[in-house]
Amino acid sequence: MPRWRRLPAGAAALWLGLAAAPAAAQPTALPESYARVATWPAAPQPRPLGELTAPEGIDVDGDGMVYVADSAEGVVHVLMSTGQGVRRIGAPGREAGQLDAPSDVEVDGGRVFVADAGNRRLQVFDAAGGRFLAEWRLGYRPVGIAAGGGRVYVSDAAAPRVTVYDTAGVALAVWGQGEGVDAVLPFVAPRGMAVDDEGDVFVADPGRADGPLLEVSAEGALKRTLAAVAGGLRNRPLDVAVAGTTPFTISFEEIVTYRSFFLTVSPVRFDGLNGGRGIAVGPGDGLVATVQDSWAIASQVVHYADRSAGRATATWGDLPAAVGTLPGPRRVAATADGGAYLADAWPRVQRWGPGGVPLRQVRADGAVDVARGPGDGVYVVAGDGVTARGADGAVRWSWSGNRSGTWLTAAASDGAVLTVADVGRGRLLRFDPGGTAPGGQRGPAVDVPLAGLIVDVAASGAQVLVADRGVQALRVLDASTGAETARWAFPGRVVRVAAGAATGGWFVLTADGWVRKYDAGGGLRAAWDAAPDGTPVDLDVNPAGGVLVVDGRGGRVLVYAPVGGGSADVPPVGNRCDVVPAKTAAPARVRAGDAVTVTLAVDGDCPSEPVDLDVVLVIDQSGSMAGPKIAAARGAAASFTAELDFRRVQAGVVLFASSADVAQTLTGDAGAVIRAAAAAQARGGTNIADGLRAARGELASGRARPGAQKAIVLMTDGLPEDADGARREAATARQAGIALFAIGLGGDVDGGLLTELAGAADRYFEAPTEVELARVYARIARRLVTGTLLRSIEVVDVLPANMVLEPGSAAPPAAWDAAARTLRWTLADVPPAGFRLTYRVRPAQAGVWPTNVRAAGDYLDGVGQAGKAVFPVPRVEVVGNRALYLPILFQRRCPALKSDVVLVIDTSSSMDGATGAGGDTKLDAARRAARAFVGFLGLPADRAAVVAFNDGAALVQGLTGDRGAVERALDALPRASGTRIDLGLEKAFEELSGPRRNGANLPIVVLLTDGRPSGGSEAAALAAAAALRSRGVAIFGIGLGADADGGLLVEIAGSAARYSYAPDGAALQAIYQTIAWSLPCGDG
């Protein structure tokens, strides 16, 4: 359905207030047409070694190698002592050797222990090559790990407890609170840990306000607690490392060491940081810490070469984003080779090659626009300056607009000369390719006046096109003087403009999602709906005439090219509301029969309406806003003012830190508002109450207009110094009839408090990153001058048969048609905040299923245009009830299937070792578990054989249904040195290929070993396993004890799902039982 409607002749100009700029006559057909020729979706590229996304725990081995657990990547990064990436350990997933949200890492005795938090287990890898060795299924979500003295300590912050294991994964003791603990310790939320040279364990517990660092003996006795530095929760330790017996802790904001002074131990602070996570001693005399810095938007390892100095000497890592991802794309610059430069929600600019192939990225803090530079380089324009980079990404030159009030918002280039709009000072700037101003200094070659409220510019030779919302017109200027040479009326609300070098003319993207091409005289040449199922936010034209359109909602680039002939698809002048449907299901993973909540939501924006409005921007300029945040806050005013009609609107600016200052009183001058916001300087505290008080005072002054709506827009990145005072001031403002909107910037805000200040949930907005801030400000501006998002909508949701609707769960209530399995809601006068509809279903079938067949809503939007909102279809993973895994159910599902099983058992001399302190030998445990296994088989229909291997291999018992014969064979297992896994598998192959084999039975091999091949080779073992699998044999691998090579056993089995790790005899017996239960239905 088209996203526009026809208006009566002349109505568009009257509605837009364009009497001063008459539009060209609307044609009935267009002479040119464009078609989509390519779509460039996000294409994430493998990240180079050493690049970090969400670094958490960290450790350093004896050779100075640094290990970093990355919870987002699902890997452990291994870095050299210089920070260079060497390899990764693990991969994201749920199988053995794969990781989900790893939270900590510890290296000890040549092994890498990883807290695999998302999978509720600990995994063990070989430090030398990263090979998977074992998994310890914990049954809880591990947070921190420490190892030393033959023990491994694992913290569970939720319990709260610390469990002590031996190096094979056998639990020795539990410390903490509640029943079943072996040592009572005052834990609240234990996290990171470290073992000192005397065997004592230091535990960081940020849940404890008093003494959050505990020192505990190896036997679980509390020796002492150490206090944190002043500063509250953000200064409580999250992790701890120990050099000798001296602890170092890291909190969100700082690193602290505890040094002895006479008879006392006192904390000593390092340089401050933001977003601390983990800490480790080394390499050498140094210290390393992981940081997820939400201020600078960086994920790094910070290196302190001398831990006694307390000053960082290097950082490793930077942007937590892979090349080719495209979250929130917002700007595009087309290149001559058919590629583009792209700016998205991260502080970066990406270079994509011809065909949309992602190539590389460079950091670009505060980038507001990009334009093609000489030789397919790029100009990156920030609010306060310009950087020119070559095609290789290297900086060629840069210029800082150090004049008071400078604020750059839009840029364009013909591939050589850069044109920039400085809306802060009302100037048009032109830079030559070398960035040289008259007189030879760095700066613009042309600096001329530029009037109006400019939202974008385009350049073609000696002409510049500007989109001026101040007069609602497109204006053509002389590039050298800034003099206007032509103008024509807006076709709706212009978002972006571009120049067509090869085809001539100007291209205009409007808020209705259409691209229009105009000739030099303002005649419409072509038009098309740029992204019918998305939200176009920018466009550019390459030298060959291709038009690149950025779809901000879809995260993609759409490429259009001219095609022969004209077009009869002529969009009338008009506007529409942007309606954004969304649908979610939570939780995403449930058991069959459990409830899933389905939520349908509609959000969006409508064109501005003529409204008299007095609004004050209250902007946080506290010390925590330093860096990208303050830069984003300065520039957000430009996005805000661009949405308002300053013929009917007045705006002011209040800047606050420890106190508040009215930086700009209420004015109809948009440029003055932008300049006032651009003057913000980060310093001091966060006195929200004073900022609100000053804004309320300005709205009560003589400058405020009687009858005009009043509003305050508060933006902050932190917690107020006086929360109760802020509540009182906000309540007073709301009682005075002032609409209050609040924006929380970053991840450190109290969203609950800001919602309370705003007075309603739909007036609080989150901006997770600086890039999102401008969008949020623009959205609030439209909310202030918009009455209705949808006049009416009917939403119909069709449910599948395997999703059982919970009666009465729909909110608001919906009409339910059981025969058609449809829910139906009818809504009217939907406000700008949109709506949310919810209901609950109970999945009835295991698998991954959609929660609905389809859901859509036919609507009439706030300006009278009809449309259809199509909701996405979420899916949930449904797992069966535990009863599904009982053996009787297997028998019912496949009663005719029986098995021929060969037990291949390691009888090397290492199997004479104990399974644990005071336990049986490994071989005795293997015999006992194998006997139990045979008991679970359905002999004599099932049959079993026994193969023993050491430096050779022997068939101790051929396939038989005689339980006694199998048990006697287990008692007679021969022992010798050597671990020839290959020979054991070859002997099993011979038996399963021989005359005793029943071709109707499933062929199974269950291999048990406690070590790596000795006397043979891994390659030989893998070859023997491949031969078995090629004959349809399912191999189960079991690793017994700390020396088992889990990685090799996974390869032998051919699947991580058929590998199990047994730390001791009890676990071994349970594993054999599980395998026996799964045999009747096979596993191949």
The pLDDT tens digits of the residues spanning 536-576 come to: 999 999 999 999 999 988 899 999 999 987 776 666 555 67
Q: Could you read off the pLDDT of 1034-1043 as tens digits, one per residue?
A: 999 999 888 8
Q: Is the pLDDT of residue 142 over 90?
A: yes
Q: Are 1006 and 1053 in contact (CB under 8 A)?
A: no
Give me the pLDDT at residue 26, please. Answer: 55
pLDDT-based confidence at residue 625 (cuts at 50, 70, 90) = confident
Q: Is the pLDDT of residue 888 over 50?
A: no
pLDDT-based confidence at residue 23 (cuts at 50, 70, 90) = very low
β-sheet bridge partners, residue 388: 379, 397
Residue scoring higher pLDDT (109 or 880) = 109
Give me the pLDDT at residue 20, please. Answer: 36
pLDDT-based confidence at residue 896 (cuts at 50, 70, 90) = low
Regarding beta strands 446-449 and 357-363, do their DSSP bridges make them parallel or antiparallel, or are they unpaired?
unpaired
**What does pTM read for this prediction?**
0.79
Q: Could you read off the pLDDT of 641-660 as tens digits, one per residue?
A: 888 888 899 999 999 999 99
Give me the pLDDT at residue 329, please. Answer: 92
Q: Could you read off the pLDDT of 417-433 as tens digits, one per residue?
A: 999 999 888 999 999 99
Q: Is the pLDDT of residue 55 over 80?
A: yes
Q: Could you read off the pLDDT of 123-132 as tens digits, one per residue?
A: 999 998 899 9
Give me the pLDDT at residue 782, please. Answer: 80
Q: Which residues contact 386 (CB under 8 A, 6 or more apart)?
A: 379, 380, 398, 399, 401, 408, 411, 418, 420, 431, 435
Local structure of 784: helix, strand or coil: helix
How far is the C-alpha of 478 from the C-alpha of 462, rounded, in Å?
6
Choose the weakest-confidence range: 287-296, 627-636, 736-745.
627-636
Domains belonging to the chain, first-starting first, are: 55-316 (2.120.10.30), 322-561 (2.120.10.30), 578-605+789-879 (2.60.40.740), 613-784 (3.40.50.410), 883-1081 (3.40.50.410)
Q: Are 315 and 303 in contact (CB under 8 A)?
A: yes
Give me the pLDDT at residue 536, please. Answer: 92
Give me the pLDDT at residue 1082, please. Answer: 42
pLDDT-based confidence at residue 394 (cuts at 50, 70, 90) = very high
β-sheet bridge partners, residue 563: 33
Give me the pLDDT at residue 84, please. Answer: 95
pLDDT-based confidence at residue 882 (cuts at 50, 70, 90) = very low
Choose the weakest-confidence range: 212-226, 622-636, 809-823.
622-636
Q: Which residue has the tokens 């110094």?
A: 721
Choose the weakest-confidence range: 210-219, 560-569, 590-599.
560-569
Q: Could you read off the pLDDT of 908-949 as tens digits, one per residue?
A: 998 988 876 667 889 998 998 899 888 888 889 899 999 999
Determine which helix (DSSP H) or strand (DSSP E) holds 769, and give its type and residue range: none
> C-alpha angle 233/237/242, rounded to 5°?
170
What number of other Cβ atoms are within 10 A of residue 52's Cβ? Answer: 27
Q: What is the Cα 383 distance to its own chain's centre?
A: 26
Q: Could you read off the pLDDT of 968-982 as tens digits, one per residue?
A: 999 999 999 999 999
pLDDT-based confidence at residue 486 (cuts at 50, 70, 90) = very high
Determine which helix (DSSP H) or strand (DSSP E) holds 817, and give its type and residue range: strand 815-817
Q: Are 568 and 579 in contact (CB under 8 A)?
A: no
Q: Which residues contact 713 (CB under 8 A, 6 or more apart)?
A: 615, 616, 617, 618, 640, 741, 742, 743, 777, 780
Give me the pLDDT at residue 422, please. Answer: 93
Give me the pLDDT at residue 1078, please. Answer: 65
Give me the pLDDT at residue 248, please. Answer: 93
Give me the pLDDT at residue 534, please. Answer: 85
